[in-house]
Amino acid sequence: MPSLSPDLQNLLYIIASVFFVFGIKMLGKPESARNGNAVSALGMLIAIITALLSEQIIHWQWIVVGLAAGSIIGALAARLVAMTAMPEMVALFNGFGGIASLLVGWAEFQKIYSAGGLMSASYYQIFIILLTVLIGGVTFSGSLIAWGKLSGTVPSRPIQYRGQRIVNGILVLLIIGFFIVLTGRLDFTGLENYTHFVVIAALALLFGVLFVIPIGGGDMPVVISLLNSYSGMAACAAGFVINNNVLIVSGALVGSSGIILTTIMCKAMNRSLTNVLFSGFGSVSASAQGEGFQGEAKAISVDDAYYVLEAAKNILIVPGYGMAVAQAQHAVQELATLLEKNDAEVNFAIHPVAGRMPGHMNVLLAEANVPYEKLKEMDDVNPQIGNVDVAVVIGANDVVNPAARTVESSPIYGMPVINVDKARTVIVLKRSLNPGFAGIDNPLFFNENTRMLFGDAKATVQGLVAEFKN
């Protein structure tokens, strides 16, 4: 088959880029989001076909193997993953993008190496290859750890040790050192150079691991957004390696969108990115905060909770990560429908960082068929929260902690929260009185108007549903 001229290739790559831009734009509106995704997929198809037609292909069997294996694995994973497991799936896909960019950089290095001095490389070329390997490597191993923390394979609490900063500092210096040494060479014939290259790749992978392990599970929305951004930057760097504009454009789009999401998540927690990445938030033991909140939490039974809800006319449901863990979203939806049949107004209040990734709760409730208009953002809910008869908190903790407003010594002081304590009655569904991931006491549980409904969220909600059906 004749290969495309370079001009025609570039033209097609530009068309693909335009499709990506429109795709992302459409993804930002609920009505057009699904089509936007399709438009962007079409852009990807154009880019892939262009790449395949750019040169004569001798080793087509390997291309077919890669494409077939990747498609089968990708399609199965996308189809089989449970909606509650979406954060770890996204983390894993991010990581695969990162390792692919690393391998592209490595293959390019291999090309120069194998040419044995016949092919000249510039300083710039080596620099950009190493940069690709570095960003791709950090994205890959960082995402794997994030995946592990989200799926429970790795403990989700922050892992900290003495001298952590020193170790990280030494690692960064090592990477910079190897980077400079290798960039300074233009002849890559020796095995020594190859070893250096592999060492840099290994250090990048190690750095990704060390970068994510000190971050607690509850801060994962920030980490996933950031790694998403990195995967874009890795693709972008790979674009510089192979001089390809479509990689640069789409990599930059993803890179900047990831940064924006990261910023939104940080703002929602009233913390800086540096604080999220380095503070080991959540390792603070409860004793470190001093007094702690003493008092007696008032428990309530499913029966009594039913009577409270039955009498309520305005109900606000506040879901959190606990709802995802208990897979309670369908039961919650059923309860909401029954409450509405009982002439109550039911709304859902979604905190921006509820769950383990941006928009996590929205996806789960959408899966359970909760109408889109019922999901309210925090800023819309808070001004009217005094009119709420019963606020039902399901598996959420820090995002409804009034200490964020009142207790200056609290680690989450200043974080915007959903002010459920201002509702007439609060029912908190929780497994125990244990503090949330951050180990922060929640005075809400001891409030006069709070009732604790202990137990597995799903079982409890199903219990309430059964009461209503009788």
Residues annotated as catalytic are 398
90 is a site residue for another protein (CB under 8 A): yes
**x-or-dash string of contact with another protein, 340-379, rule CB under 8 A:** ----------x-x----xxxx-xx--xx-xxxx--x-x--
89 is a site residue for another protein (CB under 8 A): yes
Q: How far apart are CA 3 and CA 8, in angstroms?
A: 10
Least distance CB 368 / another protein (angstroms): 9
Q: How far is CA 84 from CA 243, 319, 368, 453, 462, in A?
A: 40, 13, 11, 23, 18
Residues 91-130 contacting another protein, CB under 8 A: 93-94, 96-97, 99-101, 103-104, 106-108, 110-111, 114, 122, 124
85 is a site residue for another protein (CB under 8 A): no
Q: How far is CA 462 from CA 27, 94, 348, 375, in A?
A: 35, 36, 18, 21
Least distance CB 76 / another protein (angstroms): 9
Q: How far apart are CA 19 and CA 1, in angstroms?
A: 26
Least distance CB 227 / another protein (angstroms): 9
Nearer to another protein, 25 or 313 (CB): 25
Scanning the structure block, which residue is given the tokens 């592209």? 104
224 is a site residue for another protein (CB under 8 A): yes
Mapped onto helix, strand or coil, the DSSP state of residue 275 is: helix
Least distance CB 110 / another protein (angstroms): 5
Q: Is the dihedral of CA 64, 65, 69, 74 positive or negative?
A: negative
- Written as six digits, the tokens of 106 are 């490595």
225 is a site residue for another protein (CB under 8 A): yes
Least distance CB 2 / another protein (angstroms): 14
195 is a site residue for another protein (CB under 8 A): no
Q: How far apart are CA 365 and CA 429, in angstroms?
A: 17
Nearer to another protein, 255 or 439 (CB): 255
Residues 36-55 contacting another protein, CB under 8 A: 36-38, 40-41, 44, 47-48, 50-52, 54-55
Residues 140-179 contacting another protein, CB under 8 A: none
Per CB under 8 A, the list member of 65, 172, 176, 198 interacting with another protein is 65
Which stretch in 75-83, 151-159, 302-310, 432-440 sits in contact with another protein by CB under 8 A? 75-83
- Written as six digits, the tokens of 6 are 């370079």
Residue 428 belongs to what H/E stretch? strand 425-430
Would you list the DSSP string of 65-134? HHHHHHHHHHHHHHHH--GGGHHHHHHHHHHHHHHHHHHHHHHHHHHHHHTTTSS---HHHHHHHHHHHH
Beta carbons of 317 and 347 less than 8 angstroms apart: yes
57 is a site residue for another protein (CB under 8 A): yes
Nearer to another protein, 128 or 440 (CB): 128
56 is a site residue for another protein (CB under 8 A): yes
4 is a site residue for another protein (CB under 8 A): no
How many residues bind another protein (CB under 8 A)? The answer is: 114
Least distance CB 469 / another protein (angstroms): 23
Least distance CB 36 / another protein (angstroms): 7
Nearer to another protein, 159 or 266 (CB): 266
Q: How many residues does the chain have?
A: 470
**x-or-dash string of contact with another protein, 12-31, rule CB under 8 A:** --------xx-xxx-xxxxx
266 is a site residue for another protein (CB under 8 A): no
Beta bridge partners of 299: 452
**x-or-dash string of contact with another protein, 232-261, rule CB under 8 A:** x-xxx-xxxxxxxxxxxxxxxxxxxxxxxx
User: 207 CB contacts (<8 Å, ≥6 apart)?
Assistant: 137, 138, 141, 168, 171, 172, 175
Q: How far apart are CA 316 and CA 84, in angstroms?
A: 22
